[in-house]
Amino acid sequence: MSESSYQWLERVRDMRSVFERQKAIANQDAFPDYTQRIESLKRLRRAIKGHHNVLQQALSDDYGHRAFGDTEIADILPLIHQIDYTRRRLKRWMKPQKRRPGITLLGTKLAVHQQPKGVVGIVVPWNFPIMLAVSPLICALAAGNRVMLKLSEFTPNTNRVLRELIADVFSPKEVAVIEGEVEVSRRFTELEFDHLFFTGSTQVGRQVMLAAADNLTPVTLELGGKSPVIIDDQIDMDVAVSRLIYGKCLNAGQICVAPDYVLCPEHRQEAFIHAYQQAFRAMYPDFEANQDYSQIVNQTQVTRLEETLQDALDKGARRWCALDQKTIPTAEKRCWPTQLLTHVTDDMRVMQEEVFGPLLPIVTYQDFAEALHYIQARPRPLALYLMSNDAEKRSQVTTQLHAGGMGINETLFHVAAEDAPFGGIGDSGMGHYHGIEGFYTFSHSKTVLTRDKWDTSFLVKPPYNRWYKRLMRWWLLR
């Protein structure tokens, strides 16, 4: 149900008021110390653990059914680990970094201080509303910022729990939760944030960047795109499928780094389909009653996927259900087993748009160079996966193809690496978070030059024609 004009205007006024209060506090307390930041992270960790089961149930309610295991593995546990990782390293990250001033600045000291940016806005999507709200929040708090979270209108039950969790830990002057539909989201991105962090589609990401440009607000865009999986002609097909199928089935494929399509040697396509069907049935026995597989989030997304599937079939694609051919996905059903698609062409929606669901097109190739060229000719993906034990092919893909991140003989799990950045490139996004890169994203690297008693600046000030200055210039330019 859409909001009335009165409701969203009230929300916008409240949002502006919260922003101005946070901005004022950020100006007064511009550099929260280490103890403050650590205490915030400790309180947040306790709250997440305390709301563990409630969060799982709330997200399942939003989806109709969201596997508790999906939420635990992809939302809850990574946040606990991220907080622990950050706490162990934060003191070192905050320490000013000594730099070399060089001979021309003789007599000075040089250091780089990581200063909080101020007030950060975080726009949260519906597919992982816990993880994608709290993970950037952890980075922003570690960097010493105030934060406003704009939650998705498609996950009201999860939002309620997150709102309670945040209120238990922080005052609105520290972290505030904002809710509302499209108009509120648009007004949120127009606020004069010191940094804006957005996770969502490429199309909406462009609009967010335009809104931020009016305020010269720096942005981090975590977008999506069509993440390919290349299967080479030598790897054991059962192994290849076992390494990619979880990445496609977790959250029913509603993941920005899920395998979006497979590049498979033409002579191995039938083997891939057979191996995928076998693996799917083993992972999800008694599918209709299975609690380990999540539903598609809402009717809008089901309808989109059905239209995408029908468009492909109308244009000549063939469908292979991972479960059995008798299981035909429709808009009335929200629990779809993976639908493998062969004979796909570039004019099909499934090959033009990010799938974001349980459809998996298979594109065949004759030789490996053809597969590389296919990816090079398209927008740079958020993730790139290679199934190969060949060292030369691994090197080719790593060095010749651009992607936000890459997995070799694995999918999805590179996102869980705590000590490595996560982010897109080109159409799949800009900027990074996780690890120290996340701390830097929400910090301003401020250079501080200090000159004490020994003043050598006369060596570079006018008048320039003194003999010792001419000698110095000769020596420096020799």
- Which of the residues 179, 190, 249, 256 is marked catalytic? 256
Distance CA 406, CA 411 (A): 8
Query: Which among 199, 246, 251, 241 is positioned nearest to 220, based on CA atoms?
Result: 199
Distance CA 222, CA 432 (A): 8
Strand bridging mode 383-387 / 228-231: parallel
For residues 113 and 94, the answer to whether their CB atoms sit within 8 Å is no
3-class SS of residue 468: helix
Distance CA 247, CA 249 (A): 6
Distance CA 404, CA 239 (A): 24
Distance CA 423, CA 182 (A): 25
Q: Quick check: is 321 catalytic?
A: no
Alpha helices in 315-390 (DSSP H): 368-376
List, in order, residues 6 or more apart from 406 with CB less than 8 Å away: 383, 384, 385, 386, 397, 398, 414
Amino acid identity, position 124: V
For residues 253 and 304, the answer to whether their CB atoms sit within 8 Å is no
For residues 317 and 338, the answer to whether their CB atoms sit within 8 Å is no
Helix H or strand E segment including 67 = none
Distance CA 162, CA 51 (A): 9
- Which of the residues 222, 249, 264, 306 is marked catalytic? 222
3-class SS of residue 42: helix
Distance CA 452, CA 162 (A): 50
The strands making up 228-231's β-sheet, listed across from edge to edge, are: 318-321, 339-342, 359-365, 261-265, 228-231, 383-387, 405-408
Query: Whose structure tokens read 């059903």?
Result: 333
Q: Kindly report the CA angle at 278 between 275 and 316, in degrees rounded to 5? A: 65
Q: Judging by beta carbons within 10 Å of its beta carbon (0-12, 13-18, 19+), is residue 85 exposed, middle or buried?
A: middle
Q: Quick check: is 222 catalytic?
A: yes
Distance CA 223, CA 203 (A): 9
Beta bridge partners of 445: 114
Query: Which among 399, 397, 373 is positioned nearest to 385, based on CA atoms?
Result: 397
Distance CA 165, CA 185 (A): 22
Distance CA 355, CA 353 (A): 6
The tokens for 80 are 């606990």
The catalytic residues are 222, 256
